[in-house]
Amino acid sequence: MAKIHQNNVRSLILERNDGPTSAADGHHHFRLWTAFSGAAFRRKIFDAVSCGGSSRYGREILDDEGISLPTPKAKTEMESRGVDSEKGNGRKPEKQKEAKGCVSKSEKLLDLLNLAEGEAASEIKKKEEALEELKIVVKDLQSESEEQRREAASKVRSLAKENSETRVTLAMLGAIPPLAGMLDFQLADSQISSLYALLNLGIGNDLNKAAIVKAGAVHKMLKLIESPVAPNPSVSEAIVANFLGLSALDSNKPIIGSSGAVPFLVKTLKNSDKKVSPQAKQDALRALYNLSIFPSNISFILETDLIRYLLEMLGDMELSERILSILSNLVSTPEGRKAISRVPDAFPILVDVLNWTDSPGCQEKASYVLMVMAHKSYGDRQAMIEAGIASALLELTLLGSTLAQKRASRILECLRVDKGKQVSGTYGGNLVAAAAVSAPICGSSSSTSTNPNGVAKECLEEEEDMMSEEKKAVKQLVQQSLQNNMKRIVKRANLPQDFVPSEHFKSLTTSSTSKSLPF
């Protein structure tokens, strides 16, 4: 055996082939392990780094002292000749055990590497098979047979339901245009299969949503709705679901809003014929919310009677928060604010929502709608006061969420400014009127000559009476506000209905001044 000197990582040796022919020739032939594939090269690297080589390829291993460790084949020959392998190579038993353990670790690394390579190859094969299956499905979508296309659409629906990579691949293979074309079929089953296939292709994929609209699917859906023959209820629900998914993309909002989809969605939401499922109503409401985000769609919404219906439906807790979200978008335009204020009992309904302590989200959205309307219109502020908003706002500033408290404070500030102007105007007008009426009396020569002090005293008494009436009205308003708030707090605390306030509370309400007024 001949060996090559080691480097720092234990080089592998070359195995010499001493055959009979070579011996005769006097030449020695060396055999180099020829394995230049990537996998074999990585195996050699692992062997060299970990232990210095693997015994499964018949190579010798050199230790740190340069003493060779025999291969299994050489060890067998030595044992057959009766030579102790451990003594033959001059190694100690401990060194021999370490070398065996090193070889074992190297073989394990090779096994793991081979396993990883096998798994990768298997994964690639599966992906190739899946791609071929998708190609066949897309090819069937372009078939002349309606039945074959319907079956292919059903496969697309199931394949794209939960796999995002499959959605991308199907769209790249051209599945969207033929699916949109299937909406022209007369058979309801074909329409439903196509609609739900398009719906699943658009899940979480904005490029697919844009491609579906670009393929003309929205106009084909509306054509189905507007046909003289009433569409199948399942078809209508599938169209609503598609409008919901497609309207989530900002670039699709103006296209869907201007296409005439809003009246259809409002009709579905109102469910006048009682043929719509609760899920379809939820989808229609959410689609209308998506469309209301885009300002140009608000005019299409105002052409319907949606606002009146939304305010009437505010008692439904399943829909209320979404309804208030739509109203929050509508108040961003002057037309939307006017439409809300024109609805009878709009402000009492919104003020009542402020008392929904079990729904902080509804309180926050209702306070936002009222805050915007109070900031923009004096007439709306007066309507809010008449609806009893003062006590609700006071309670909200104490018990509401942080956001609701801030909005309630803003509304109170607007109302306080109006009240200050109103009070100052009332005092100024009353003083001017009093001066105009009493001037001839106080300024006449006869009155002044007879009893000037008496006339002045009479004027002061009238002014004091006037001021006392204002103070009485203010004091009465403060007491009513505090009592209403106490009743609400008692109700929220689940105290007995016959709860009687303590004397301390009564003294607080009777001794309150106008400083506790909300405005």
Angle at CA of residue 78, ends 76 and 82, nearest 5°: 115
Name the least confident of 62-66, 121-125, 407-411: 62-66
**Look-up of token digits 């055999």:** 31
Q: What pLDDT was estimated at residue 21?
A: 46
* Through-space distance between the first and last CA atoms of the chain, rounded to whole angstroms: 106
Alpha-carbon span 263 to 352, nearest angstrom: 29
Cross-strand partners of 517: none
In the chain, count H helices and then E strands: 27, 4
Q: What pLDDT was estimated at residue 271?
A: 83
Question: In a 10 Å sphere around its CB, with 0-12 CB exposed, 13-18 middle and 19+ buried, how is residue 325 labelled?
Answer: buried
Residue 216 pLDDT grade (very low, low, confident, very high; cuts 50, 70, 90): very high
Asked if the model's pLDDT at residue 431 lies above 50, the reply is no
Q: What pLDDT was estimated at residue 101?
A: 57
Q: What pLDDT was estimated at residue 362?
A: 93
Give which of 460, 308, 488 is closest to 396, Cα–Cα: 488
> Which of helix, strand or coil describes residue 423?
helix
Name the least confident of 143-147, 194-198, 242-246, 479-483: 479-483
Asked if the model's pLDDT at residue 356 lies above 70, the reply is yes
Asked if the model's pLDDT at residue 368 lies above 60, the reply is yes
Dihedral-angle region of residue 4 (phi above 0 means left; psi in -120 to 50 means alpha; beta otherwise): beta
Dihedral-angle region of residue 10 (phi above 0 means left; psi in -120 to 50 means alpha; beta otherwise): left
Pairing state of beta strands 61-62 and 68-69? antiparallel
The CB density around residue 199, as the number of other CB atoms within 10 Å, is: 20
Name the CA radius of gyration of the chain, rounded. 44
Largest CA distance in the chain: 165
Alpha-carbon span 191 to 206, nearest angstrom: 23
Q: What is the pLDDT of residues 243-301, one digit of tens each?
A: 999 999 999 999 999 999 999 999 999 987 678 899 999 999 999 999 999 999 999 99
DSSP string, 25-76: HT--EEE-----SHHHHHHHHHHHHHTS--GGGT--EE-TTSPEEPPHHHHH
Residue 517 pLDDT grade (very low, low, confident, very high; cuts 50, 70, 90): very low
Asked if the model's pLDDT at residue 217 lies above 90, the reply is yes
Q: Please check whether residue 17 is in contact with residue 31, taking contact to mean a CB–CB distance below 8 angstroms.
A: yes
Mean pLDDT for the chain overall: 75
| Homologous superfamily of 117-215 | Leucine-rich Repeat Variant (1.25.10.10)
Alpha-carbon span 299 to 320, nearest angstrom: 22
What lies within 8 Å, CB to CB, of 340 at 6+ separation is 307, 311, 327, 330, 331, 346, 369, 373
Residue 376 pLDDT grade (very low, low, confident, very high; cuts 50, 70, 90): confident
Residue 478 pLDDT grade (very low, low, confident, very high; cuts 50, 70, 90): low
Alpha-carbon span 300 to 258, nearest angstrom: 8
Alpha-carbon span 183 to 226, nearest angstrom: 13
What lies within 8 Å, CB to CB, of 72 at 6+ separation is 55, 58
Asked if the model's pLDDT at residue 73 lies above 60, the reply is no
**Look-up of token digits 């070398």:** 99
Tokens of 302: 């105002």
Q: What is the pLDDT of residues 86-121, one digit of tens each?
A: 444 444 555 555 555 565 666 766 777 777 777 777
